[in-house]
Amino acid sequence: MLVLAFESSCDETACAVLEMSEEKRIIKSNIIASQVDIHALYGGVVPEIASRAHIEAISKITYEALSTANVTIKDIDLIAVTQGPGLIGALLVAVNFAKSLAYANNIPLVPVDHIKGHVAANYLTHTELKPPFLALVVSGGHTSFFEVKSYTSLEEIASTRDDAAGECFDKIGRVMGLCYPGGSAMDKLATNGDKLAIAFPSPAISKDTLDFSFSGLKTAVVNYLNTKNQKGEEICKEDVCASATYSIVEAIKSKVSLALKQTGYKKIVLAGGVSANSHIRKGILEVCKKLKAEFYAPELSLCGDNAAMIGAQGYYEYLNGAIADVGLNAYPS
């Protein structure tokens, strides 16, 4: 089955074509028009600008996705689109574009939850992967554990009580003047720093819960940087990144260990933009080796927002009968 998929929940306009069946999970094209350079001027995503940029990009990238896959709209069997969560004005661009295309060409349309899409990026990287498993979604907006009971049934069992891990990376990166968003730059700087140079608080709030809290760490690092700046003292960015990352990695390691023990799963899947972080990947792998559990993460090109992951999840939603009509609306949260 050929799936045409759309994603416009935040600052990437994305369109992909996939060939999906019981045996095959193939990406035929995966086009992303990123708005990062535009939002970098403001240090964060400006919703109105994001919506306008999606409108400007969506037709062009659809043509590009179809032509790269060497197909036309007549060959498409299914259209999948991110329904939420995300910025409402941004989401509505792809939702309305997909609805029009589906209606005009008489193609079934399936709405896809963005978080489920991030998890589904793993089905494309690991073509043998099947639920059930435990998933940790770490992105700019979310940090949550899910029990993935089937391709379409995910139950959230824990989450951050305040900021997401990505928000924490991005805020620290912004205060240090790193390029936006800061997560990827911090990953590289942390590699050359001393992780024990500065003792920052842990995002693992207590031993008994799987929940996280990143706001204390975020504030502590920002306070450290501001105090250093006020005193005119030099800041070693590598040490700050290494120490903050160490705090995050240790918290994630302890929660992954607890989650595997509490739930009994022997398989954990990492997903979301922050899943690209090399230190987090290494940390979870260590825990999994110790607990004899399997660890999966998406290939780097599928960690951030993209439409291929939406197409993969859309295929399973279709099999589950979740077909939408022209009344389909987006949901922000």
State the residues that interact with ligand KG4 by CB under 6 A: 10, 139-141, 166, 169-170, 181-184, 187, 272-274, 276-277, 304-305
From the list Zn ion, ligand KG4, none, pick the one residue 274 interacts with, judged by a Cβ distance below 5 to 8 Å according to partner type: ligand KG4
Closer to ligand KG4 by CB, 111 or 273: give it. 273
Residues 21-60: b if buried by 16+ CB within 10 A, e if exposed: eeeebebbbbbbbebeeebeeeeebbeebbbbbbbebbee
276 interface partner picked from ligand KG4, Zn ion, none, CB below 5 to 8 A per type: ligand KG4
Q: What residues does 155 pair with on adjacent strands?
A: 147
Least spacing, CB of residue 323 vs ligand KG4, in Å: 25
- Residue reference for tokens 């059930």: 132
- Is the Cβ of residue 170 or residue 211 nearer to ligand KG4 in the bound state? 170
| Cβ nearer to ligand KG4, comparing 47 with 108 | 47
Nearest-angstrom CA–CA distance, 140 and 257: 23
Helices (H), 84-181: 88-105, 114-125, 165-175
5: helix, coil or strand? strand
Which of ligand KG4, Zn ion, none does residue 170 bind (CB under 5 to 8 Å by kind)? ligand KG4
- C-beta of 243: minimal distance to Zn ion in Å? 27
Instruction: Tokens for 169, please give them.
Output: 């990376």
Smallest distance from Zn ion to CB 313, Å: 12
Give whichever of 113 and 170 is closer to ligand KG4, judged by the CB atom: 170
Answer with the entry of ligand KG4, Zn ion, none that 277 interacts with (C-beta below 5 to 8 A by kind): ligand KG4
Comparison of 95 and 204: residue with beta carbon closer to Zn ion: 95
Q: Which chain residues interact with Zn ion by CB under 5 A?
A: 139, 305
User: 18 touches which of Zn ion, ligand KG4, none (CB within 5 to 8 A by kind)?
Assistant: none
Q: Give CA–CA dist 310/36, Å, rounded.
A: 20
- Residue-level length of the chain: 333
Given a contact cutoff of 8 angstroms between Cβ atoms, the answer to whether 284 and 254 are in contact is no
